Amino acid sequence: MERTLVILKPGCLQRGLVGEVISRFEKRGLQLVAMKMVQLDEEILKEHYAHLLDKPFFPWLRDGMMAAPVILCCWEGYNAVQVVRDMAGATRSSKAVPGTIRGDYSVSSQENIVHTSDSLENAEIELKRFFVESDFCNYTSPLNPFKYAPDEM
Ligand code: DAT
Ligand code: MG
């Protein structure tokens, strides 16, 4: 089963939306396999947002991501990377469709509540960036037969 990284950004924590956002992933049927609260630093953010280092907004993005702690989560499920990405909605929250996390809780391009991995390859890289192997809890939900067809488990 696929695993993907979600970061509940500082604004999500400060605005008291952590429970709401986690609840959405739970209700969708995804399984939480790792979670921790950390204060990010400049070094890891330069690595995580390497594709944006030369953008004029990078200093604001970096400072915003260090403005309060974040909550790192690993969610597991069938097609989890795409499912979670679609639940987050468009990067520019003002264009995000209502019903998505960004579309329901934000209007900003920068302060957009969650980070989600954008591909299976990047999910693996990002999960290794923020977690060590012992952070992952391997357990099987007894509800899996009620959530999945045999070839989806
Ligand atoms: P996503 O988070 O949807 O994967 P991304 O990887 O292109 O989007 O950008 C990472 C983060 O950078 C994004 O969540 C918020 C910030 N960002 C992106 N484009 C921005 C912009 N035009 N202005 C301000 N912040 C931006
Ligand atoms: Mg991205």
Instruction: Please report, for the chain, the start and end positions of each structural domain, with discontinuous segments joined by +.
Output: 2-137
Just give the CATH number of 2-137.
3.30.70.141
Residues of the chain with pLDDT below 70 are none
Tell me how far CA of residue 128 lies from CA of 49, 71, 107, in angstroms.
Answer: 15, 15, 30
State residue 63's pLDDT score. 98
Both tokens of 36, joined, read 């921790």
Residue 118 Cβ inside 6 Å of ligand 1? The answer reads yes
Both tokens of 15, joined, read 């605005």
Question: Under a CB-based contact definition with an 8 Å cutoff, are residues 28 and 83 in contact?
Answer: yes
Residue of 115, 123, 126, 127 marked active site:
115
State residue 45's pLDDT score. 98
State residue 149's pLDDT score. 97
Give me ligand 2 centre to Cα 117, in Å. 6
Helix 80-88 and helix 120-130: axis angle, to 10°?
Answer: 80
Ligand nearest to the CA of 64: 1
User: How high does pLDDT run on average in the chain?
Assistant: 98
State residue 67's pLDDT score. 98
Q: Which residue has a Cα nearest atom 9 of ligand 1?
A: 91
State residue 101's pLDDT score. 99
